[in-house]
Structure formats: C-alpha cells, structure tokens
Amino acid sequence: MNQTPASPPAPSPEPSPPAPAPLRDLAWAAGFLALLVGIVVGGSHALLVWKAGVEKGSTIHYEQPTWSSESSHLAYLRVETPTVSGKGDTRSQLWSTGRFGDRRQLLAELPPGRFLVLGWLLDDTRVVLQALDEASQGARFLDVATDGSGGRWVRFADPQMRVVGIEAREIFLERPRHGKDGKLSGVELVQWRPDSTGFSPVVSIPSPIAEKVRIESVAAAPDGTRLALVLRAPAQGGPMGVWFFNRSRRTLTWTTISVPEARALQVDWSNDSRSLVAAAWLGESSELYLVRDEPDPVPTRMRSSSGPLAFRPVCPRDANRVLLLEDQRVLEFDIQTHRARVLLAPQSLGLIPEEVALSPLGSLAAFRAREGSVEDLYVLDLHGGRPEALGHGAAEILARRTLLYEIAAGLEYAVAHWTGREPPALR
C-alpha cells in the first residue's frame, strides 16, 4: 500500500531580539515620573483643599457675651460672614455655653438682620433679643427658651415704644402719653414679661409740650420694690437727673442728681437694694455718686476723674465695692476708702479684649479677642489667673500652628506667584 510521505514540520519562528536596555529603563523612568507627578499634584491639591477647609471660607465673630443671673452661663451671637462677596449669606445664631466652654448649646438660628441680646429672664429660662432693623415698626422681640424648645416673636402695636431697661424679671419700655384731647402730655413707663400676655403700665410722667421728657434708662432694685429712672428734660440735649419710683407707694422722688452737661448717666443698685451708684460722663471727665436709702436721698460725690473716661458702674453681691467698666478696663472702687485699683488692663493680658461683660457676681469678665487670625470668647477671673478660651476656635488655632499648615500656605503663595495671580499674604 503506497503512503504519501509526511510533510516536514514547519520551521519554528525565530525569537525577536530583546529590546535594548536604555529604552526599557526610559519607559520605567517615564512611568515613575508620571506617578510622582500625579502624587505631587494630587497631594498638593489635597493639601490646599485641607487648608481651605481649616479657613472655612468665612469669618467667624462672637458678639454680645451676656451672663446669666447666676454667672453660670453665657449667651452670645455667632455671626459667620463669607470672606468672598456673593459666596453665601451672613448667618447669625444664638448660642449659650458654660463658663468653661462646656454645655454648649445652639438656642436659635436667627433670620437675616441685626439683633441685640437684651438678657436672661425668668430665672434664666429665657433669653430675649431685640430686632434692630425694624425700629420704625415698633419694638420686636425674639423670646427664646434656654431648654432648646425654640422661641417666639413678640411685637407691640405701638411703633413708638422703645426699650429703656431690662432686669431679671421684666423688660421696661417707654411710650408716649396722650391726654384726653389726644395731644402729647408726657411719657409712660410700661413693663413686659415673657410669661405675660401683654404689657402693664408702671408710671406716667407728665410734661408740657414745650419741654418733653425722655426716659434714658431704668434700673430696678434687686428686691423689686423701687426703680431708678434716668430722665432727660427737655428730651433733646437737656440735663439728666435720677428719680426713685416706689412701686408700692406709687411715688416719684428726686435724688437731686442733676448733671446739666452730662452726655451719659449710668446707674446700678447695690445687692441689698439700699444704695444706688451713678456714674456721669461729662465728655472730658467723669463723676461717681452714691445715694443711700434715706427719706431725702441726697447723693455723695465719691470720685471725679479727669480725661475722656466713660464709666459704667456694676454693683456685685457685695455692698462695699463697685466695679467700674471703662471700655476695656475694669476698676474696683472701695466705697469706704474711695480708692480704686485696676482688675483688668489690656496690656497685662497679651490680648485685646472687646465687648467686656461683667458677671452679676462681680468675679468674672467675659470678652472676645483674637489670637492671630482666629477669634474666640474668653473668661477671666478678675481676682487672679489668666484668660481661659472657651474653645470655639481651638481646632482651627491648633491646625494653623502645625508645620503642615505653613507648608500649605507656602505652596498657595508659590502657585499664585507662578500662575501670575495676586499672592495671598503670608502669615
């Protein structure tokens, strides 16, 4: 049987020659360089994003620190303003915190506008704010519960009513008084409490049309029996005087404190409700008066100071001394010896305090200040110690102090310089 001879096997392909070593090394180098560039670019971007997150793109201010009646809590406004115009809206919040920065609580998100923290009322169960952007429509209050349950708006129908004082129990307002003929015949002092359905008249002060009376301020004695009224007559540029109003007898008594050239007259009661301290600011000097609880309340001039000093007296729960708040300074004045000593001076703190608020007990001061570019609230024991930050900006301060933040700031400066943009200011 004939068989076809088998075909010879196909020749196997010859292996390609290996790539030259320089080309392979170049490919590895290019890949490694691309990876390195990616890591650098990605890391730089992440670093700049982290820095922007630290700075938040907004400026935080803490305004109007206000002590509770027991000096255990602070109420304040947290105002966040975008650093770039058009990048968001200004947000305001009402917060409270313990004196050590603990028990921090958001009480209310505030609508747009300006607000004044009037104070704590009803055994520190309410914080009342006044809206300032609608003054032409009358007094409008935001009454906020401190237990976090929310708040309510309160508005009075009379647009001419204005706030003249606040105490732990009530808010005092002035409104025009009209006679039977409908003509203006003086002013009336009324009071409002958050637990009431409306306001209650306190006292009417008659005055001729040609010499209108204006209530500058009202301070209630701690026991609630009497009020100290600072009156100005005539209302425009007239001299100011202090009157006592006895709430049970319904009588007004002049204390003979009358300072024709005074630009401001601040008063406060002693804790035992038996003495009144009044500080008159004359523009280029100040005078301090003490009025005792006597049938004829004649004042005693305790101190006169030259220079543009404007004192606000605060009587702590100690009748033998008075605290005098003068912008950023706090003085302690002894009623017996008539000597004063400095308790708070900005140059001794290393900080510049703003909006200093003295506690009702007279031992603590709260204020806002800046450390570098970060603002915080501070509490200072007036009888010793250093200011204690409440920790609002603690995380931001810590981040800004790190080497990583300095590297990010330098990188941001370099990138802006390389790309021709305006470099940011190095911190």
For the stretch 215-240, pLDDT in tens is 999 999 999 899 999 998 877 777 88
Strands (E), 83-196: 91-98, 105-110, 115-121, 126-131, 140-145, 151-155, 162-166, 171-178, 184-192
User: Does residue 129 carry a pLDDT above 90?
Assistant: yes
Higher pLDDT: 408 or 349? It is 349
The residue among 134, 157, 173 that closes a domain is 134
**Does residue 230 form part of some domain?**
no
The residue among 134, 151, 174 that closes a domain is 134
Q: Is the dihedral of CA 136, 192, 77, 361 positive or negative?
A: positive
**Does residue 369 form part of some domain?**
no
Which strand (E) or helix (H) includes residue 31?
Answer: helix 21-55
Higher pLDDT: 410 or 48? It is 410
Give the mean model confidence (pLDDT) for residues 25-37. 71
Give the mean model confidence (pLDDT) for residues 96-120. 91
Q: What is the distance, to the nearest Å, from the Cα of residue 50 to the centroid of all Cα atoms in its chain?
A: 29
pLDDT confidence band for 335 (50 / 70 / 90): confident
pLDDT confidence band for 426 (50 / 70 / 90): very low
Task: Sort 258 into a burial class: Cβ within 10 Å, 0-12 / 13-18 / 19+.
Answer: middle
**Does residue 34 form part of some domain?**
no
Q: What residues contact 217, with CB distance under 8 A and at least 6 apart?
A: 164, 165, 229, 230, 265, 266, 267
By three-state DSSP, how is residue 248 classified? coil
Q: What is the domain count for the chain? A: 2
User: Does residue 276 carry a pLDDT above 60?
Assistant: yes
Distance between CA atoms of residues 234 and 212, nearest Å:
5
pLDDT at 207: 81
User: Does residue 148 carry a pLDDT above 90?
Assistant: no
For the entire predicted model, the pTM comes to 0.76
> Which domain covers residue 64, as residue numbers?
45-134
Distance between CA atoms of residues 359 and 349, nearest Å:
19
**Does residue 355 form part of some domain?**
no
pLDDT at 121: 94
pLDDT at 112: 87
Which strand (E) or helix (H) includes residue 400?
Answer: helix 394-400
Distance between CA atoms of residues 393 and 369, nearest Å:
11
Distance between CA atoms of residues 90 and 235, nearest Å:
37
Indicate the range of 15-24, 359-368, 416-425 predicted with least confidence: 15-24
Please say whether the beta carbons of 358 and 343 come within 8 A: no
Which of left, alpha, beta for 150 (phi over 0: left; psi -120 to 50: alpha)? left
pLDDT confidence band for 124 (50 / 70 / 90): very high
Each residue of 174-215: pLDDT tens digit? 998 877 777 778 889 999 999 888 889 999 988 876 678 889
pLDDT at 381: 92
The residue among 134, 161, 186 that closes a domain is 134
**Does residue 181 form part of some domain?**
no
By three-state DSSP, how is residue 416 classified? helix
**Does residue 106 form part of some domain?**
yes
**Does residue 51 form part of some domain?**
yes
Question: Crossing angle, helix 21-55 and helix 403-418, to 10 degrees?
Answer: 110
Give the mean model confidence (pLDDT) for residues 246-267. 84
By three-state DSSP, how is residue 15 classified? coil
pLDDT at 64: 95
- Residue whose structure tokens are 């966040």: 80
Distance between CA atoms of residues 99 and 73, nearest Å:
6
User: Does residue 427 carry a pLDDT above 50?
Assistant: no
The values of phi and psi at residue 415, to 5°, are: -60, -45
**Does residue 238 form part of some domain?**
no
- What amino acid occupies position 118? L
